[in-house]
Structures are given as structure tokens and as C-alpha cells.
């Protein structure tokens, strides 16, 4: 007798809603076990983490600071994933957009009228993100080059470009030779809502709603869905697969780019080391946990942001090593992936003959 | 009616007494056990790196040894440089810590931002240049010890190529490379110091890779400006010598480490925290050297011959005595241009914004 995975014929609607919560509970239990082995009380730790992330107004704004780039990159990644375009390049798109926004903020500001500066900065930043995503999209649609590899490798290229600039030609002349551009002029700062949380939050929430509407309620959204399910079927229906993939991925890159714009214009107000702390990669977790649903992404991003900010407490209050925070993130992801697997598949027991038949059938 | 009035009077008296009691509290405080002075440290790596962060943590433990339960120390490890550090520093300030040490260059702006918000908390930043009423900077003239270690390397290299994985092309690192090279070339003008930038302070894998690349290029001694012992281990595995940094890396790697320029932060930490406790702390820019004992040259490996040790101690005496310092002209840059005239001494301002490499260094500061 063997066990095999079998695709479920129908995916239960309740499962889609309930499974993520069960997965979350499972990950809490697993993390709890991990904490116990480190000699920490899991309840105390979770309480400290929750307090650190949501316990006060200031804490919550810090959680939002993390959640904003996660929402935007999460949305961008989710859109590409819907089409089965594996955009692992959110990090690079974010970074290059940060570079482009810096270019506008520092080098256009002397002659650009102040009121146009911010819109221009957003526009150029998003365009840079779109451009960076457009390269792998074009390679995929025209030459069938695997996008996973290209998007991933372009991350490093973008990061190196940004380093070259703030170590080299863009280095602040008044910075004693230390790396980093000069501070942006005030007109190029994203207004802050509370604490360090900036208006990128509004952009992210609007983007989530618009993306949901586009995917659910428009013809284009429908076309994208068909392409995601079966490019062959889409072609048969006369949908231009290449053109649509290209457009959607450009939009995906622009969303990731907006995250980068927010980071430089809203948080650091200059280009320097530490622009992105792996938001583009965490975005993948966010998108999966949200089951690629744009409306769920803001909530998941806030939970994830809370986990990152609350993770500080693991060190500060509980005195555990910093790697614990990363371990906990990993512990979150695995049950989630398992959960989504079991939503779509089920385990079936097979007798010997069935297995042979299945093997012959090419399962 | 009278009854009510009496109650109100009684209440008023009770309240005023309570008010007095509150006011009297500061006077009564010394009788009660004093709250410990709370000191926090922000680390870029982990104390287990056996290098940079390890030495800061040794300094933190020196505080606990010196003050016992009068201080309470805490630290946060693996804090990324840049805006993310703002949150961590603010958290400590908010949690009532009295003094916060941030131990990497990239914490400068975040610390300056938080310092402006918490005027009563004392902020102390390692290796930067921004100060305010409640924010100090501190660093050590490790370049003096690096110069001495350069003498050892210059004497002991056979290929005349010394490899040097460097973290970032910033003044702190450039100054160290230059001092090391000047030391090596003072005893062996044929020496070339080849630099590979890793663009990271703490990344064991990258640090090792850089060292291996340099060994492949013919280097027979590996010096370094990184946070871990990995470059030293890479050299040892190839049967090559190395010069450590941060901690006495010979203890962790073996006698292939000829010597190491090392930090001794405890001296500074204990002094600074004492000033914080007794109220004499003032914002300052501390930059102590060998004479303050805040930087040292670690003990030699048995592989270092006596004549080399003698050379080092002669120079050391001059530096400690203040009769001579490392960056005294003539000094040429690595394009051959004379940068410091014969007999001239570079000022601290020039040293703190060092952006060119001396003759003998193969590498570029972007």
C-alpha cells in the first residue's frame, strides 16, 4: 500500500477560508515547541511579541512601516503569480525604483517646481520598477527564457547599481567620504501619517482595492485568469497571451517599485545601505499566505510586519538569539504551504494494483 | 451639613498629605535600593563572531564586572544598518534605558534621529561623526596597531603580496589599510597590499571567499577589516599566515595568526558609564589610541622571530610616547602623487575623511 497525492475535483469554499487559520495555529504550535526547546515560555514570548508589534500606538506605526512595503510588493508579486509568472524579482524592482526616485529627488529638485516633485518621483520610480520587471517579461514572452532565474539575478544587478551610485558618483559630497546620497529636499519627502508610517499606506490600500476590482470585475482580469489557468485555452479563445503577460508584469513591477519609492521618500529620505531588508522576498510569503487575494494582502502584510517588529522582543525581553525571529518566519511559511497543498490535493491510500495502474496512467 | 464639610476637609487633608508624601519621595529615595543604570548595546553581528561584536560584548561584560548590580545591560544583535535600526534604538530609549551604545557606522543617522526625540537619554555612537547635546561619538586609533601589524607582515611575506579583505571603502577602513601598508613597506618596500571589498561587515561566507580569491592571486599573508575569523581560517587551511583584527584571533584560529590589532572597549565603556552615573557625562568625540589602551597589539605567535618583535616594539614606543605617528610624510598615493609632504603630519580631520590609498595598495576607493 502506498500513499499518493490526488488533485481534488472541487476545492471547498470553506477550506479556502478555514485552512489558513488552521495553518496559522499549527505554525504557532510548532514555534511554541521551538521556543520551549530554547527554554523560553512560548505564551510569554507570544505576548511580548504581540505587545511589541501592536501594544501601543507607536509600536503599531512601526508595524505599519514594515507592512507598507510588504503590501505593495505582495500585491505586485501576487499579480504576477496569478499568471504563473514567477516574479522573484520584487527586491530588485523595489531597489531600482528607489534609485530612480533618488535621482528625481536629488537631481531634478533644483529645477523642478516643488509641487510636481512628489508626483514625478512616484511616476519615475514606478516606471523604473516596471522597466526592471519588463526585462524578464520580454525575455519570457519573446524568447521563452525562464523568468524565475532572470528576475532573481536582476535583484543582484539592481542592488549593485544602487551601491555603485551611493558609493560613487552620488555620494554625499558633505558626508566625509561615507557612503550614501545627500538628504532629499523636504519637498521630496512622503508626508507621514503617524510615527514613521507614511502615505505609502494609502497607495497600498487603494492599489489592493483596485487590483481586486480589476481581477474580479473586468474583462482584462478575466483574461488574466484564463491565462493563469491555461495559456493554451486562452490562446484558443483568441486572448493575446504574450501581450497580457507583459502588461501584467509591468504593472507588477510598478507596484513593487512604489514600495521602493516609499522606502526612500518616506523612511530613509536618502539612498543608503539598508534600503530593503528582504521585503521583496518576504512579499512572496505574504502573497502565498493571502492565497493571491489582493484584499487579503494588506491584512497578511500587517501580520507579517507585526511578526518582524515583534521579533525584536524575542531578543529584548526574552533574551533569545536574533536568528529565532527568522526561524519563526520559516515556521509560519511551512504550514501555510502545506495548508494550500491540502486545499487542492488530498492524500489517497492505494493498494498495489491501483499503484501500478496509476503508474501506467502516468500519474 | 457639618458632617459633609468634615468629610471634605478630611479628604482635602488626606490629599495634601499624599501630595506632600509624593514630593518628599526624592529625599527618601537614597534609602531604598537605587534602580540600576540601564545600558543598551546595538550589535551589527553576534557576539559569537569572535571579532568585532565579540569585542564589544567583552566590553559590555566589563561593565557588569565593574559595577555589579548597579548596572543592567542589554543588547540586540544582528541589527541591520540604516533606517531599521531607528526602531530598535527608539525601543530602548522608550524602555527607560539611560545610555545606548550603537556599535556600527550605519547606526549614525538612526541614532541622531532618536537622540533628538529623547533629550534625557545618552546616546553614544561608534565610528561616526554626528554629535549633539546628548549624542557622542567614540572610536579608537586602531590604525596605530595596524601599522605595527604591517611591520610583522612586511617582514614575513615571501611573495611580497598581502591580501586584505575590506568591508567598505569608507574612511575607517581606508585608514586601516593605509596604516597597515605603510607599516609593511617601512620594512619591505616591495610589498603590495591587494584589497578586495566585500561590501559587508559581517558575512562569514563572503569574507572567506574574498580571502580565498586573494590567496589564489598569490597572497601569502591575509590581513583583514571584517568582523569574523573566516579570512584567518581560510589562510590557515592553505598553510598561510595571517594578521587578525578585532580580537586576538590566534586564540580562536591558531598560531598561523601572527598577531592582531585588537580592541579593548572595556576601558572606554567603564569610564563613560561611570560619568553617566555620576552626572559628569558630556557629549564628546573620543578617539583614543595605544596610549589609552583602548587599542592594542595582541601577543605574537611563536612563528614571529625576535628581530621582528624588536622592530615592532621600537615603533610602538615612539607612537605611545607621542614622538611620532603613523601618518607622517612623505606619503604618496597609489597613483604616485605626493599627498603628504616630508615631515608634515595629517590632521585628525584628514584622517577621518580619508578617501585615497597609499602607494603599495592595489585597489580603488570608488
Domain range holding A79? 69-290
Chain A contact set for B176 (CB, 8 A): none
CA B329 to chain centre: 27
Q: Taking CA atoms, what residue in A is nearest to B128?
A: A178
Structural domains in chain B, CATH included, are: 37-140+265-292 (3.40.50.2300), 142-260+298-362 (3.40.50.2300)
3-state secondary structure (DSSP) of residue B224:
coil
Closest partner residue to B77 (CB to CB) among A176, A177, A321 is A321
Domain contains A274: yes
One digit per residue, pLDDT tens: chain B, 366 residues?
445 444 544 444 444 334 333 333 344 444 456 799 999 999 999 998 899 999 999 999 999 999 999 999 999 999 988 888 999 999 999 999 999 999 998 899 999 999 999 999 999 999 988 999 999 999 999 999 999 999 999 999 999 999 999 998 888 999 999 999 999 999 999 999 999 999 888 899 999 999 999 999 999 999 999 999 999 999 999 999 999 999 999 999 999 999 999 999 999 999 999 999 999 999 999 999 999 999 999 999 999 999 999 999 999 999 999 999 999 999 999 999 999 999 999 999 899 889 899 999 999 886
Least Cα separation, residue B153 to chain A (angstroms): 28
CA B246 to chain centre: 8
Closest partner residue to B76 (CB to CB) among A163, A164, A315 is A315
Distance CA A77, CA A69 (A): 12
Chain A contact set for B80 (CB, 8 A): 274, 277
Q: Taking CA atoms, what residue in A is nearest to B75?
A: A316
Domain contains A259: yes
Q: Is B171 in contact with A168 (Cβ distance < 8 A)?
A: no
Closest CA to B58 of B259, B265, B260, B227: B265
CB contact B113 to A (< 8 Å): no
C-alpha grid cell, residue B254: 591558531
Closest partner residue to B87 (CB to CB) among A62, A275, A315 is A62
Question: How do residues B302-350 score in pLDDT, each as one tens digit?
Answer: 999 999 999 999 999 999 999 999 999 999 999 999 999 999 999 998 9
One digit per residue, pLDDT tens: chain A, 363 residues?
677 777 777 777 777 778 878 888 888 898 899 889 888 898 998 898 899 899 988 889 999 999 999 999 999 999 999 999 999 999 999 999 999 999 999 999 999 998 999 999 999 999 999 999 999 999 999 999 999 999 999 999 999 999 999 988 998 887 766 788 999 999 999 999 988 999 999 999 999 999 999 999 999 999 999 999 888 899 998 889 999 999 999 999 999 999 999 999 999 999 988 888 889 999 998 998 888 999 999 999 999 899 888 888 888 877 788 788 778 777 877 887 788 777 778 877 776 666 555 555 443
Q: Is B84 in contact with A163 (Cβ distance < 8 A)?
A: no
Instruction: Say whether pTM exceeds 0.80.
Output: yes
Domain contains A222: yes
Distance CA B309, CA B250 (A): 16
Domain contains A35: no
Q: Is B106 in contact with A62 (Cβ distance < 8 A)?
A: no
CB contact A62 to B (< 8 Å): yes
Least Cα separation, residue A120 to chain B (angstroms): 24
Q: Is A177 in contact with B199 (Cβ distance < 8 A)?
A: no
Classify strands B295-297 and B261-263 as parallel, antiparallel or unpaired. antiparallel
Q: DSSP E strands: which ranges in B93-189?
A: 99-102, 122-126, 135-140, 161-166
Name the domain count of chain A: 1
CA dihedral B122, B126, B127, B132 (to 10 degrees): 0
Residue B35 has, within 13 A of its CA and on its CB side, a CA count of 8
Query: Alpha-carbon torsion A233, A239, A241, A246, what sign?
Result: negative
Q: Please, what is the average pLDDT of chain B?
A: 90
Closest partner residue to A177 (CB to CB) among B81, B109, B170 is B170
Q: Is B106 in contact with A312 (Cβ distance < 8 A)?
A: no
Closest partner residue to A312 (CB to CB) among B91, B129, B365 is B91
Q: Taking CA atoms, what residue in A is nearest to B84?
A: A274
Domain contains A241: yes
The secondary structure of residue B281, as a DSSP letter, is -
Question: How do residues B13-33 score in pLDDT, each as one tens digit?
Answer: 444 334 333 333 344 444 456
Helices first, then strands: H and E counts in chain A? 14, 4
Chain A contact set for B82 (CB, 8 A): 268, 272-275
Question: How do residues B244-276 score in pLDDT, each as one tens digit?
Answer: 999 999 999 999 999 999 999 999 999 999 999
Distance CA A304, CA A300 (A): 6
Question: Which residues 142-181 in chain B show a CB within 8 A of chain A?
Answer: 168-171, 174
> What integer pLDDT is reported at residue A363 of this predicted model?
39
Amino acid at each position: 500500500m502506498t500513499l499518493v497525492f490526488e488533485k481534488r475535483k472541487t476545492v471547498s469554499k470553506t477550506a479556502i477560508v478555514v485552512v489558513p487559520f488552521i495553518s496559522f495555529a499549527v505554525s504557532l504550535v510548532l514555534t511554541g515547541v521551538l521556543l520551549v526547546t530554547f527554554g523560553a515560555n512560548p505564551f510569554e514570548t507570544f505576548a511580548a511579541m504581540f505587545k511589541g508589534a501592536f501594544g501601543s500606538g507607536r509600536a503599531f506605526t512601526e508595524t505599519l512601516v514594515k507592512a507598507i512595503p510588504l503590501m505593495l510588493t505582495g500585491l505586485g508579486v501576487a499579480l504576477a503569480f496569478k499568471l504563473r509568472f514567477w516574479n522573484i524579482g520584487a527586491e530588485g524592482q523595489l531597489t531600482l525604483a528607489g534609485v530612480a526616485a533618488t535621482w528625481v529627488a536629488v537631481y531634478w529638485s533644483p529645477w523642478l517646481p516643488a509641487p510636481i516633485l512628489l508626483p514625478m518621483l512616484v511616476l519615475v520610480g514606478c516606471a523604473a520598477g516596471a522597466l526592471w520587471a519588463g526585462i524578464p517579461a520580454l525575455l519570457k514572452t519573446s524568447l521563452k527564457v525562464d523568468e524565475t532565474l532572470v528576475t532573481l539575478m536582476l535583484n543582484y544587478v539592481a542592488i549593485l547599481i544602487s551601491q555603485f551610485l551611493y558609493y560613487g558618483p552620488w555620494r554625499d559630497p558633505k558626508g566625509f567620504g561615507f557612503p550614501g546620497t545627500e538628504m532629499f529636499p523636504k519637498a521630496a519627502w512622503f508626508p507621514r501619517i503617524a510615527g514613521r508610517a507614511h502615505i505609502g499606506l494609502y497607495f497600498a490600500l487603494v492599489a489592493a482595492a483596485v487590483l481586486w476590482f480589476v481581477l474580479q470585475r473586468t474583462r482584462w482580469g478575466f483574461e488574466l485568469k484564463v491565462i493563469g489557468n491555461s495559456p493554451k485555452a486562452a490562446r484558443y479563445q483568441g486572448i493575446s497571451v504574450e501581450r497580457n503577460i507583459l502588461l501584467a508584469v509591468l504593472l507588477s513591477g510598478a507596484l513593487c517599485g512604489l514600495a521602493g519609492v516609499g522606502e526612500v521618500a518616506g523612511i530613509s529620505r536618502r539612498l543608503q545601505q539598508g534600503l530593503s531588508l528582504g521585503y521583496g522576498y518576504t512579499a512572496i510569503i505574504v502573497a502565498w499566505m493571502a492565497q493571491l487575494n489582493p484584499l487579503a494582502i494588506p491584512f497578511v502584510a500587517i501580520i507579517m510586519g507585526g511578526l518582524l517588529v515583534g521579533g525584536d522582543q524575542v531578543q529584548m525581553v526574552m533574551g533569545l538569539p536574533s536568528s529565532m525571529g527568522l526561524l519563526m518566519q520559516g515556521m509560519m511559511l511551512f504550514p501555510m504551504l502545506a495548508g494550500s497543498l491540502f486545499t487542492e490535493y488530498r492524500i489517497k491510500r492505494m493498494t498495489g494494483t491501483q499503484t501500478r495502474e496509476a503508474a501506467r496512467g502516468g500519474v | 451639613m457639618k458632617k459633609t464639610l468634615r468629610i471634605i476637609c478630611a479628604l482635602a487633608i488626606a490629599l495634601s498629605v499624599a501630595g506632600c508624601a509624593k514630593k518628599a519621595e526624592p529625599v527618601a529615595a537614597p534609602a531604598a535600593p537605587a534602580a540600576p543604570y540601564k545600558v543598551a548595546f546595538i550589535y551589527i553581528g553576534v557576539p559569537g563572531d569572535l571579532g568585532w561584536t565579540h569585542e564589544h560584548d567583552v566590553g559590555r561584560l566589563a561593565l557588569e564586572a565593574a559595577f555589579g548590580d548597579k548596572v543592567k545591560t542589554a543588547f540586540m544583535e544582528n541589527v541591520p544598518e540604516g533606517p531599521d535600526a531607528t526602531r530598535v534604538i527608539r525601543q530602548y530609549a522608550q524602555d527607560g534605558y539611560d545610555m545606548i551604545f550603537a556599535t556600527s557606522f550605519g547606526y549614525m543617522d538612526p541614532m541622531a534621529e532618536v537622540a533628538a526625540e529623547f533629550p534625557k537619554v545618552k546616546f553614544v555612537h561608534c565610528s561616526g561623526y554626528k554629535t549633539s547635546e546628548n549624542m557622542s561619538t567614540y572610536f579608537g586609533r586602531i590604525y596605530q596597531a595596524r601599522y605595527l601589524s604591517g611591520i610583522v607582515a612586511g617582514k614575513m611575506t615571501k611573495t611580497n603580496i598581502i591580501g586584505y579583505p575590506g568591508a567598505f571603502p569608507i574612511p575607517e577602513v581606508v585608514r586601516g589599510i593605509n596604516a597597515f601598508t605603510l607599516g609593511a613597506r617601512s620594512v619591505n618596500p616591495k610589498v603590495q597590499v591587494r584589497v578586495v571589498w566585500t561590501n559587508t561587515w559581517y558575512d562569514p561566507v563572503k569574507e572567506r571567499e574574498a580571502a580565498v580569491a586573494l590567496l589564489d592571486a598569490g597572497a601569502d599573508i591575509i590581513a583583514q577589516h571584517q568582523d569574523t575569523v573566516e579570512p584567518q581560517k581560510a589562510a590557515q587551511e592553505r598553510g598561510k599566515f595571517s594578521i587578525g583584527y578585532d580580537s586576538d584571533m590566534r586564540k580562536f584560529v591558531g598560531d598561523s595568526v601572527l598577531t592582531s590589532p585588537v580592541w579593548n572597549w572595556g576601558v572606554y565603556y567603564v569610564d563613560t558609564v561611570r560619568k553617566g552615573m555620576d552626572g559628569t557625562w558630556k557629549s564628546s568625540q573620543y578617539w583614543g589610541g595605544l596610549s589609552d589602551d583602548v587599542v592594542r597589539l595582541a601577543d605574537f605567535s611563536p612563528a614571529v622571530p625576535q628581530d621582528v618583535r624588536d622592530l615592532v616594539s621600537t615603533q610602538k614606543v615612539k607612537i605611545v610616547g607621542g614622538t611620532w605617528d603613523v601618518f607622517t610624510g612623505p606619503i604618496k598615493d597609489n597613483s604616485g602623487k605626493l599627498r603628504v609632504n616630508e615631515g608634515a603630519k595629517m590632521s585628525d580631520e584628514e584622517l577621518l575623511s580619508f578617501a585615497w590609498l597609499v602607494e603599495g595598495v592595489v585597489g580603488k576607493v570608488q
